[in-house]
């Protein structure tokens, strides 16, 4: 067991090292002089030459890479061209809002997705199954940024039910002061019993979270449906039914436990994927998170910020993948001993 985890961790470290090579390559292979990009479009030739020395671009590539890696290990992601702040500090500022949104969206997707996937598999081929499949294909086929605007049109413009954008009304925290504990208005409002803040934050969170949930929801339902159909056809399930267990017990207690493993992997991966998904919807909802920051960075050619966000999100993706592998090995002895195919 320990050997399996150690091997998996080592492999994860190798992959993360690989990520730094790829990110470095993208930044260096891209056409255009990084020094010229650094000093901006109106710089003189001397300024560009000076920037080249300052950035170490006059050194050979492997020296540049070593320097880049050294900075990364010290948590130094460079300085943003647009905000003139260290990229690492920017990411620390903007990540919590994105995490709040991503957690809310994923929670929604899981809470809806598991019963839907199970129900579709249990009634495979019937109308509920067809409806569920259509919904899940819709979820993975819809451009999220478009869904965001359609929801705004319906729930803000037409029905006047929910706020258009932002994380909270500017006035709410002024009228009902809230002590920052977690940095999330929703949680802080809840912890302090500050209901006006909680309600306002929740109202602002609903539309972005629903938008973000659409894609993972579709994936979870699809994965769970197909693995549940497979599991429900197994002999032990037939045996459980023959023994007279209630259908609900057979499906949820016996079959789901074995069928959920591939879906767990998908959930972890879509969590990290959804962090990238925020690139597309945070700007629509004016949500002050990492996605909004990244969208601004790509459009303004703020390449230290682009590279910083890329490496941070990619490392989170790999780390989550690793975590799921380890958890599944703990739960399922077949994985760690390599008995399963």
In the complex, which residues of this chain contact another protein (CB under 8 A)?
14-15, 18-19, 21-23, 26-27, 30-32, 124-125, 130, 133-134, 137-138, 140-143, 145-147, 149-150, 152-153, 156-157, 164, 229, 269, 272-273, 275-277, 279-280, 284, 294-295, 297-299, 301, 303, 306-307, 310, 313-314, 317-318, 321
| All residues at 6 or more sequence positions from 170 whose CB lies less than 8 Å from its CB, including other chains | none
Nearer to another protein, 2 or 29 (CB): 29
Structure letter (DSSP) for residue 255: I
Nearer to another protein, 31 or 41 (CB): 31
Distance of closest approach, residue 307 Cβ to another protein, in angstroms: 7
How many other β-carbons are positioned within 10 Å of the β-carbon of residue 298?
Answer: 13
Q: How far apart are CA 122 and CA 251, in angstroms?
A: 8
Q: How far apart are CA 288 and CA 70, in angstroms?
A: 30
Nearer to another protein, 61 or 298 (CB): 298
Distance of closest approach, residue 327 Cβ to another protein, in angstroms: 18
**First and final CA of the chain: distance in angstroms?**
18
Q: How far apart are CA 244 and CA 227, in angstroms?
A: 23
Distance of closest approach, residue 218 Cβ to another protein, in angstroms: 9
Distance of closest approach, residue 244 Cβ to another protein, in angstroms: 26
| All residues at 6 or more sequence positions from 127 whose CB lies less than 8 Å from its CB, including other chains | none
Nearer to another protein, 113 or 139 (CB): 139
Distance of closest approach, residue 81 Cβ to another protein, in angstroms: 13
Percentage helix, strand, coil, to 5, in the chain? Answer: 75, 0, 25
Distance of closest approach, residue 187 Cβ to another protein, in angstroms: 26
Burial of 245 (0-12, 13-18, 19+ CB in 10 A): middle
Burial of 62 (0-12, 13-18, 19+ CB in 10 A): exposed
Burial of 145 (0-12, 13-18, 19+ CB in 10 A): middle
Nearer to another protein, 194 or 227 (CB): 227
Nearer to another protein, 191 or 319 (CB): 319
Distance of closest approach, residue 180 Cβ to another protein, in angstroms: 30
Nearer to another protein, 79 or 305 (CB): 305
């Amino acid at each position: 067991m320990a050997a399996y985890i150690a091997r998996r961790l080592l492999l994860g470290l190798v992959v993360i090292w690989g990520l730094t090579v790829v990110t470095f390559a993208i930044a260096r292979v891209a056409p255009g002089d990084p020094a010229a990009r650094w000093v901006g479009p109106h710089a003189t030739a001397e300024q560009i030459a000076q920037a080249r020395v300052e950035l170490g671009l006059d050194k050979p590539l492997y020296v540049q890479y070593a320097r880049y890696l050294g900075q990364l290990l010290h948590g130094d992601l460079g300085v943003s061209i647009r905000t003139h702040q260290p990229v690492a500090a920017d990411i620390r500022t903007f990540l919590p809002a994105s995490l709040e949104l991503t957690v809310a969206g994923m929670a929604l997707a899981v809470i809806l997705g598991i019963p839907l996937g199970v129900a579709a598999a249990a009634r495979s081929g019937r109308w509920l199954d067809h409806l569920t499949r259509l919904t899940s294909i819709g979820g993975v086929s819809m451009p999220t940024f478009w869904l965001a605007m359609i929801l705004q049109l319906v729930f803000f413009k037409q029905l006047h039910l929910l706020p258009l954008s932002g994380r909270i009304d500017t006035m709410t925290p002024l009228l009902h002061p809230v002590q920052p504990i977690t940095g999330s208005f929703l949680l802080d409002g809840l912890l302090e019993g500050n209901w006006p803040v909680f309600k306002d934050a929740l109202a602002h969170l609903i539309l972005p979270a629903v938008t973000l949930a659409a894609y993972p929801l579709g994936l979870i339902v699809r994965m769970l449906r197909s693995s549940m159909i497979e599991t429900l056809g197994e002999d032990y399930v037939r045996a459980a039914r023959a023994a007279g267990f209630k259908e609900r017990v057979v499906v949820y207690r016996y079959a789901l436990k074995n069928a959920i493993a591939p879906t767990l992997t998908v959930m972890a991966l879509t969590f990290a994927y959804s962090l990238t998904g925020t690139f597309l919807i945070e700007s629509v909802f004016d949500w002050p998170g990492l996605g909004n920051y990244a969208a601004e960075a790509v459009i303004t050619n703020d390449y230290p910020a682009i590279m910083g966000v890329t490496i941070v999100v990619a490392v989170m993706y790999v780390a989550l993948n690793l975590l799921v592998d380890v958890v599944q090995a703990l739960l399922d002895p077949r994985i760690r001993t390599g008995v399963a195919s």
